[in-house]
Amino acid sequence: KQEVTQIPAALSVPEGENLVLNCSFTDSAIYNLQWFRQDPGKGLTSLLLIQSSQREQTSGRLNASLDKSSGRSTLYIAASQPGDSATYLCAVNPKGSSASKIIFGSGTRLSIRP
């Protein structure tokens, strides 16, 4: 059974620092992995999607990597800003599902201190 874990559950860093968020999954048979951002009381905003054949994706200050063999993904945020404060979730799309059964981690709550 596919499980997705995000550690730590919460992280606080000063503004300007580079940081890495971690995501691990137990079954490497996936179609893709997606990183989302969620602001309090809001829906999820898609940040990056990495197909299983890819190793990384970049968008602005964000870089996501994927290592299927080890069941890991990281989200790298460069030069963090207070506006980056939010909960970051990763989700995997496992192969073999009869329909879309995207599995989410519990998220990392990120706080950037001014």
Rounded Cα distance, 9 and 69, in Å: 24
Contact indicator for 112, 81 with CB cutoff of 8 Å = yes
Question: Per CB under 8 A, does 51 bind another protein?
Answer: yes
Question: In degrees rounded to 5, what are phi and psi of residue 67?
Answer: -125, 95
Question: Per CB under 8 A, does 32 bind another protein?
Answer: yes
Contact indicator for 45, 17 with CB cutoff of 8 Å = no
Task: Supply 69's token pair.
Answer: 């063999």
Residue from 2, 25, 34, 88 binding another protein (CB under 8 A): 34
Residue from 10, 18, 59, 101 binding another protein (CB under 8 A): 101
Q: Which is nearer to another protein, 4 or 112 (CB)?
A: 4
Contact indicator for 91, 33 with CB cutoff of 8 Å = yes
Question: Per CB under 8 A, does 43 bind another protein?
Answer: yes
Question: Per CB under 8 A, does 11 bind another protein?
Answer: no
Question: Per CB under 8 A, does 111 bind another protein?
Answer: no
What would you report as the CA-atom Rg of the chain, rounded to the nearest whole angstrom?
A: 14
Name the site residues for another protein (rule: CB under 8 A). 4, 31-32, 34, 36, 41-46, 49, 51, 89, 91, 93, 97-107
